[in-house]
Each structure stands twice: as structure tokens, then as C-alpha cells.
A and B are shown apart, each in its own frame.
Chain A
Amino acid sequence: MKKRGVGYGAFFYGTGYGNGFPDESRAVIEITSSGRFNLYVGVSDVGSGGISVMQQIAQETLKTDGELINIIWNDTSLVLDTGTAAASRQTYNTGNAVKIACEKMRDRINEVIGEKELKTKEDVNEIYNLFLDKNIETRFEGYFKATTSQVNLETGQGNPYWPYTFGIEKAVVEVDTETGKVDVLEIVAAYDAGKIVNPAQAEGQIIGGASMGIGYAIMEEVIVNKGSIKNRSFSDYIIPTSMDMPKVTTYFVEKNEPTGPYGAKGLGEPAMLPTAPAILNAIYNAVGIRLTEFPATCERVLAAIKEKEQRDQEKRDNI
């Protein structure tokens, strides 16, 4: 028999290195004679979209077009230390550094021409020439350090992370009680990652996270025997394919984070946190079994269903 269930998983997640560890980002904005800005930033973009986010923040702050900003990234002979693309920290931390650098630049631009937008290369070139005439710097550095402090282990007081990202996911599953097979039919995700800088990319992060979460919940298991991983290929370490993915619906609760760049917070790691718990809760809702071990393979689910049936039978016999 196939039984359906609904489950939820909720989380809060501190982004950044945390616990007082120096969490610093730097960025440099430069105006050039070519009628464009150069943004030097050390974001490693491995598909997480950091480069687009930095460009958008720079464009917003400088009041210019994204096409007029060259991004020079990752070349350590050219860029300052931005910290790692880890801990879901780039949008918040490095975004702030980019914003601070660009604000310094825009303040000087305002001094020479006022609040005017810079729409063309000629506009930017005019500023560049005015800067040279007035002996104004053409390069500005931004620095941002997240405010965390070490937690006092005796009192439990401190500020271990700042800021936190929040979210909840709903999973709908179908469990085959004869085979133990679990199908995920639907995921609905709602996240508060502050103001979303790039909605298309943010959705991509959430859907990708959901796919990793589904793999984590029902497929992926590293089998280790005497220190050696036994399933080292995609034929026995199974990850979701396009056929395994249900529809993922994404909602953003864009609550402004006052310390974030334009109110933004981090999203990378949080994207896969609530999926697996939501799926296990949905399995419980469907067939009444509490799994405490990942993944919910056919064997484990079937064994747990059998065990439950036996328990239920014993209860009935005792009455």
C-alpha cells in the first residue's frame, strides 16, 4: 500500500566564521580612464553566484550600470584578502566590504557632480577627469568585520554568530509499505535570508539545497569498511537525478537585516538544512515510524515498518 505523509523541518543558522574568529572582508573599487569602474574582490564563485551579487551591490551603491563595472576576482596578486567562500558569508561580509568601498567612491563623486546617475562610459570618464583635476584618489578600499565574540562557556553569554538565517521546509512523501521505497512528491521552502539580492540565483541555491537534502534523506550513504570507502562510484553512491526531483516551490521572507548590505544575509549552507528532517517527519506522518539514521533506504524503512507492525500486534495481544 502507498501511504502519503506531510512533514516540516525548520532551522536557524548562524552565518560567518563565528565565535569571535576574525571574519574579515576587503574590496577595492577603482575608477579608470576607460570609462569603467574596476571592482577588485576575492570572492571565489563556484556556482554560488557571489560575483553577480558583488556586481549588483557595487552597481546600486555607485548608481551606475552593471556593464560599467569590471570585476577582477580571485587573482591573489591583484585582490585583497576576502576570506573564504565558506560559512555562507560572502553576500553578507564581502557584500558589506564592497558597499563600504563603493560608498567612499560615491561620496567623492557626489562632491564633484551631485547625486547624478552614471549611465554611460562618458559619464564615468567625466568623473575620472574631474578626480584627476581635483587631485582626488581614484581607488577606495572597503573593509568589513563581522561582530561576533567568543562565547563564555561558564555563563553561556556572548555573540557567537551574526547574523542568523531562518527557514522552514515542507515535504510531501509517498511510502510504499510493501517495498519501503520513499518518493518525495513535493518540497515547499520559505526562507528569511534578509533582502534577496539576486532572486533567480537564490532560488537556484534553495532548489539545489533541496536536491542535496533529498539525497541525504533517502539515497546517499558513505559505506566505510576498515577505513576504506566501499561505494566510491555513482553506480553505488546514488545522488538524485532529474527523475528524482519533485517540484520545489520557493518563498522568501525578505526581512531587512540592518547590518547587511541592503539588508541581505547568507543563504548557501542553510539551503540544505531543513529538507532531510522534513522528509523524515513526513515518513513518520505517513507510516508512523521514527527513523534516527540516514538515509531512509528501502531496507531501513521496511524493517522499521515491520518492527512497528510487530509492536502494534503485541499491544493488541496484551489488551
Chain B
Amino acid sequence: MVEVTITVNGTSYTRKIHPLMRLLDFLRDELKLKGTKEGCGEGECGACTVIMDGRTINSCLVLAASCDGKEIITIEGVGGAELHPIQRAFLEVGAVQCGYCIPGMVLSTKALLDKNLDATEEEIKEAISGNLCRCTGYQKIVEGVKLAQTKMKESRGEACECGRS
């Protein structure tokens, strides 16, 4: 057993875990954060995507023991008391069908828009290309990301009171 301290959604957790435990299992089984999904378990489908220190990773491919001192954001940490603009945008355009890929989609979107709020359609498509979706054909998800850009720009404008051009 090894001891790790991992910050998940702003809270620091210290646990003694098996050295071969995957980050995915740490989140789902140790912390009971079931929003992160397991799809293929081999880093192809992106259902288990989480954000580690600002970058998306497949949590099925990362050992929890290697995450000591790292900061993780899961789908549970994206919104607060209210839904995040990305989540609201996804709902508004109808981007969610069965929903299994959506936690990963939202996190890939967040990682992109946190870095580049002006991402083009091509950049959006590339950013979510590691997240497979069998239901939607992606089009409404891309529309959702674009709507989220508008929403986030609006709320950023309000926050700094700089107004919109």
C-alpha cells in the first residue's frame, strides 16, 4: 500500500491505496465519485476523461499512486450550486442522448475553453476527438461547445465589467 494525497475538485484527500490502483478506480471506488465513466478501459474512448493540472487525461490509463500532489477536476467539480455554462449549453442544444460520453465531453470542452475561449470549429472538433460518442454524431455537441463559448464570454464580460463590443 502507498499513501497518496490528491486534490479532487478542490478538496484534498489522503488515502492508503494499492500501488496498481487506477485513478479511475480511485475516483469511483475510493471517493465514490461515480460521474467519471469507464468505457473501454484502454484509453481509446475518452469516457473516463478528467482534467489533471489543466490537461485532459484518460483516468483509466493513469495510476492513482502517480497522482500524488496533483489537482484533478471531475464532472462533479465542473458546476457549483448551479450548472456550468458548458453543461447548460449542452442541455439547451440537445447535445446529450444516452449521456455516457458526456462527462468526458464536458471536461474536454472545459480544458479547451479554459485555455482558448475563441477556439474555432476545427479546434473544438479536435479537442473532443478523443471522446467517442455513438449516439449523437457530434454535431449538437459541437453546437453546445459554441453556445458555451458565447455564454462564458458573456459571464466573463459581466465579471470584469468591461462590456461587450
Interface residues of A (CB under 8 A from B): 46-49, 200-201, 203-204, 207-212, 233-235, 239-243, 245, 247-248
Please state if B135 and A245 are interface contacts (CB–CB under 8 Å). no
Please state if B129 and A208 are interface contacts (CB–CB under 8 Å). no
Please state if B40 and A233 are interface contacts (CB–CB under 8 Å). yes
Please state if B139 and A248 are interface contacts (CB–CB under 8 Å). yes
Partner of B42 from A200, A207, A233, A240 at Cβ < 8 Å: A233
Please state if A241 and B129 are interface contacts (CB–CB under 8 Å). yes
**Hey, which chain A residues are within 8 Å of B129, CB to CB?**
241-243
Q: How far is the CA of A272 from the CA of B8 in the complex (A)?
A: 41
B interface majority secondary structure: loop
- How many B residues, CB 8 Å from partner? 28
**Hey, which chain A residues are within 8 Å of B128, CB to CB?**
242
Q: How far is the CA of A203 from the CA of B97 in the complex (A)?
A: 11
Q: How far is the CA of A28 from the CA of B45 in the complex (A)?
A: 40
Task: Decide if B65 is an interface residue (CB 8 Å cutoff).
Answer: no
Task: Decide if B155 is an interface residue (CB 8 Å cutoff).
Answer: no
Partner of A211 from B125, B130, B138 at Cβ < 8 Å: B138
For B32-64 the 0/1 string (1 means CB < 8 A from A) is 000000001010110000000000000000000
Contacts A207-B136, A233-B44, A234-B44 given; indicate if A242 touches B97 (C-beta within 8 A): no
Please state if A47 and B139 are interface contacts (CB–CB under 8 Å). no
Contacts A47-B97, A233-B44, A242-B128 given; indicate if A204 touches B138 (C-beta within 8 A): no
Task: Decide if B99 is an interface residue (CB 8 Å cutoff).
Answer: yes
Please state if B94 and A248 are interface contacts (CB–CB under 8 Å). no
Task: Decide if B88 is an interface residue (CB 8 Å cutoff).
Answer: no
